[in-house]
Structure 1
């Protein structure tokens, strides 16, 4: 297993020593425990994508260090010894199906294991196992990926990462562009990978309903800094602060605020649909008791 992830005094500057220099991360200190489910949220340009790309050393700190288990990444780290780390840290980028390039589903999923030294037979078995994990029937293996639906193509892309058997999975807006059914299916898959396989999940998202339904901890970023971290309940407790951070409320919390404005205040701010339903039923019971 890859172990815990730790950022220590990490700064990152794009185009350092040039007139276009821009500091994207400022003194980041963050620890993510092994097996946790963390959501990273914040407005566009807040530094979320820059942060996650440090975890498998796609980019390296300008100063400070990132540790992933026994691996330590600094500005001096070379790519030579990063292959084992990148095999353990799987990353699913936004619209990952745009990176699908092989002529069949099975070949695309096999690409990663083959690239890391697996035999043809080992790579095919890893690919079939990954297809099973993401719920893609094996009869799809010889189809062209471009003949699949958007949700199925997303599953192929995720299967390509899972075929590497990562212990950390980073997902950058994994449901972007999907219809509600596709969105629900992908998030259910992510939750299963975490709950049943113990994979550490790091989710970058603008979907606050996903944050409160799935994440154990939330990291809020703004202008390259971590402004707050805690449980979903901690993050959404201060309505004024949430709006200052240009964040939206989860649907249930927003509905509860509308009820409050209509003269039906609830004793707490429900974050999920279950919480909202229970709060309304409790309030109705109290008023008719």
Structure 2
């Protein structure tokens, strides 16, 4: 599979060359495949946000290099060479609605495309398409974004990123503060963009259920290092290791582990609700037919 993003021995030091220097990333090497849905997990302070901010060069390596679709970022890369890269890498921060500022929804969504050279008509068309993609009715175009609900405001912010037509979309805790319905809607949107528009999705999250329900690849970070990569099944296979990393198991796996601790022969740890239901059904069937 082609590589969308490659980290080559990347170290990032905050307050470098001072007595307060601290490595937030420590000799990171990582490859993220094109069109993958990758979750970055780890306890608070493990380096997740610092890692993803290198992908659109909000931060540059202190040492090493980052390559994004053949565009290289090194310690000496100048800002004038980064505009084209940032057009291809969209980033949605936690509480992105706080970044809204224009007087109407359509103007806010058009801002990014116009900033990167689109004429008004082209930017407006891109904004209308992005609104449709995130499920915002066109009738909201001339409303103030600040008159919308919290969930709608977040969709406006995401639409502003999608109007740039990025190849990579970084979602840094995108569901923070949302109710369960809003949470599911945002995650389903990310899944749709991955499946139908073939966008490479990178999700930073503390929600382990989102990891197992949506991601195909998982990167686990601890103290600025990558300590494990693999599928969700591989990463969550050892509950004791997960707890040592100060992480939670997905809800279904947590419940299944309690059953295992109580002596119920669950077998391989189920990660999703459907897997848990299938396992319990199978156990019930065997209980009714002990000779099976």
Tell me the TM-score normalised to structure 2 length: 0.97
Deviations 1:264-284 (A, max 9, x none): 231121000110110100111
Question: How far 1:53 moved relative to its partner?
Answer: 0.5
- The DSSP-based 3-state class of the residue aligned with 1:4 is strand
Query: Offset at 1:3?
Result: 5.8
Task: Check the 8 A contact 2:110/2:123 in 1, yes or no.
Answer: yes
Q: Distance in 1 between matches of 2:127 and 2:112?
A: 9
Alpha-carbon distance in structure 2 between the residues aligned to 1:266 and 1:89: 42
Q: 1:277 matched to which residue of 2?
A: 277
Q: Could you tell me how far apart the structure 2 residues matched to 1:174 and 1:50 are? A: 16
* Structure 1: distance between partners of 2:3 and 2:280: 42
User: Residues of 2 paired with 1:120 and 1:3: CA distance?
Assistant: 34
Considering only aligned residues, what root-mean-square deviation do their CA atoms show, in Å?
A: 1.0
1:165 aligned residue: 165
| 2:3–2:31 CA contact under 8 A, matched in 1 | no
Q: Which residue of 1 is the match for residue 143 of structure 2?
A: 143
Aligned residues: 288
The aligned runs of 1:48-197 (5 Å cut-off) are 48-197=48-197
Q: Tell me the alpha carbon deviations over residues 200-219 of structure 1, each in whole angstroms, 9 at most, x when there is no partner.
A: 00000000000000000000
Task: Specify every segment of 5 or more residues in structure 2 that has no aligned partner in the other structure, as ranges.
Answer: none
Separation in structure 1 between the aligned mates of residue 261 and residue 225 of structure 2, nearest angstrom: 34
Q: CA deviation at 1:263?
A: 3.5
Aligned to 1:16: 16
* SS of equivalent to 2:7: strand
Residues 268 and 51 (structure 1), Cα distance of their counterparts in 2 relative to 1, 3 Å cut: same
Is 2:170–2:202's contact at 8 Å kept on the other side of the alignment? Answer: yes
Contact residue 100 and residue 157 of structure 2 kept, 8 A = yes
Unaligned runs of 5+ in 1: none
Q: For each residue in 1:34-81, what CA deviation from the matched residue of structure 2 results, as whole angstroms up to 9, or x when unmatched? A: 100000000000000000010011111000110011111100000111
Say if 1:256 and 1:265, in contact at 8 Å, map to a contact too. Answer: no
Contact 1:88 1:167 in 2 (8 A): yes
Structure 2 distance, partners of 1:88, 1:20, is 34
How far apart are residue 288 of structure 1 and its match? 1.1
Q: How many Å separate the matches in 2 of 1:3 and 1:276?
A: 34
Measure, in 2, the Cα distance between the counterparts of 1:275 and 1:224. Answer: 33
Q: 2:124 & 2:3 partners in 1: Cα distance?
A: 28
Report SS of the residue matched to 1:146. helix
Q: For 2:27 and 2:3, how far apart are their aligned partners in 1?
A: 22
> Do 2:3 and 2:32's aligned partners in 1 also have CA atoms closer than 8 Å?
no
Counterpart Cα distance in 1 of 2:247 and 2:86: 32
Q: 2:156 & 2:209 partners in 1: Cα distance?
A: 25
Deviates more, 1:103-112 or 1:142-151: 142-151
Structure 2 SS opposite 1:31: strand
TM-score by length of 1: 0.98
SS in 2 for 1:114: helix
1:215 aligns with 2:215: yes
Q: Deviation digits for residues 207-255 of structure 1, max 9, x if unmatched?
A: 0000000000000000000000000000000111000000000000011
* Residue of structure 2 in register with 1:4 after alignment: 4
